[in-house]
């Protein structure tokens, strides 16, 4: 498959084929009972999607295995050759729906705000996101060629990657969290104390779950369990070459240390200070 260039939608770079379905995304009618999972790419979207899916099935892993995670939680703005678009799937789906998006606050369809939908946002530290995103660009055709790691890191800092600037994304939802029904989570907290974060999600969804069910959810959402589960690891998804880099790659904190050179790190820290100077949002790296 070729690697189409990114296109601009409302000033945001987006995967080429996604731009072709943009009118339907913009017109999308959210409902008050939709649950939106929003993230900047590579921040733990699939992980929190699986947690939500298992909460809805009361920890029934067999029920959750009835479809791949990208089918059970459709991706709103997804569109591509020989793929049904996210909007097409969602418009036919039973309610209540769980919807995945990578759209930043200023590009998210207005109906999500009008309906005051519940939003689960997951943020991950910028350096690990950049590394994970680089490997994802390499393995998921449909992204432009990432070039070398150094070239990709520069594009990432410029916001010239699909879904734009990391900093605007994480700050946008952070600033909106109090006026909206948003649960703002951090990937690093999910790694450190997954049970605590699973309980936060279930309380947010107003689901009372027994300790036994919570333990099951914990087991089935571990990195190894998801990596080994063909329904969770994207091995059934087209346009991805897992021999280049698996979708479930490392699932750790601080892999940036094996990728950033000293000078890349200095440059990134300077960029980061500027981008994050005007916010109380902070990350563990």
The one among 21, 24, 38, 43 contacting ligand A3P by CB under 6 A: 43
Q: Segment contacting ligand A3P (CB under 6 A): 111-119, 163-171, 218-226, 277-285?
A: 218-226
Nearer to ligand A3P, 26 or 188 (CB): 188
Shortest reach from residue 146's CB to ligand EST, in Å: 12
77 vs 206: CA distance, rounded Å: 27
- By Cβ distance, which residue is nearest to ligand EST? 142
Among 102, 143, 169, 220, which one carries the catalytic annotation?
102
Q: Which parts of this chain interact with ligand EST (CB under 6 A)?
A: 15, 17, 41, 45, 75, 78, 80, 83, 140-143, 239
284 vs 254: CA distance, rounded Å: 9
| Sign of the CA dihedral with 194 first, then 198, 199, and 201 last | positive
22 binds, among ligand A3P, ligand EST, none (CB under 5 to 8 A by kind): none
Query: Any idea of the CA torsion for 35, 253, 169, 186, to the nearest 10 degrees?
Result: 40
223 binds, among ligand A3P, ligand EST, none (CB under 5 to 8 A by kind): ligand A3P
Shortest reach from residue 139's CB to ligand A3P, in Å: 10
What are residue 98's phi and psi, to 5 degrees? -115, 125
- Name the residue with tokens 């900047």: 40
131 vs 159: CA distance, rounded Å: 15
3-state SS string for 51-71 = HHHHHHCCCCHHHHCCCCHHH
Shortest reach from residue 137's CB to ligand A3P, in Å: 11
Q: Which are the catalytic amino acids?
A: 102
């Amino acid at each position: 498959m070729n690697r189409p260039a990114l296109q601009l939608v409302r000033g945001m770079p987006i995967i080429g084929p996604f731009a072709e379905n943009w009118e339907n995304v913009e017109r999308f009618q959210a409902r008050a009972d939709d649950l939106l999972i929003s993230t900047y790419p590579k921040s733990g979207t699939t992980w929190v999607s699986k947690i939500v899916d298992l909460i809805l099935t009361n920890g029934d892993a067999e029920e959750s295995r009835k479809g791949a995670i990208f089918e059970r939680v459709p991706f709103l703005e997804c569109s591509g050759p020989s793929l049904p678009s996210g909007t097409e799937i969602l418009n036919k789906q039973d309610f209540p729906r769980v919807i995945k998006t990578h759209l930043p606050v200023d590009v998210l369809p207005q109906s999500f705000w009008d309906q005051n939908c519940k939003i689960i946002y997951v943020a991950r530290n910028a350096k690990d996101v950049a590394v994970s995103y680089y490997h994802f660009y390499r393995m998921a055709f449909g992204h432009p060629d990432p070039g070398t790691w150094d070239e990709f890191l520069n594009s990432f800092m410029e916001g010239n990657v699909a879904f734009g600037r990391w900093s605007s994304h994480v700050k946008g939802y952070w600033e909106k969290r109090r006026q909206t029904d948003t649960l703002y989570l951090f990937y690093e907290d999910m790694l450190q104390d997954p049970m605590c974060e699973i309980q936060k999600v279930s309380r947010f969804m107003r689901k009372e779950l027994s300790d036994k069910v919570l333990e099951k959810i914990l087991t089935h959402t571990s990195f190894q369990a998801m990596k080994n589960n063909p329904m969770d690891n994207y091995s059934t998804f087209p346009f991805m070459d897992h021999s280049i880099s698996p979708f479930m790659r490392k699932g750790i904190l601080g892999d940036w240390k094996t990728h950033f050179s000293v000078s890349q790190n200095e440059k990134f820290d300077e960029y980061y200070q500027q981008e994050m100077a005007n916010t109380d949002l902070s990350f563990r790296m």
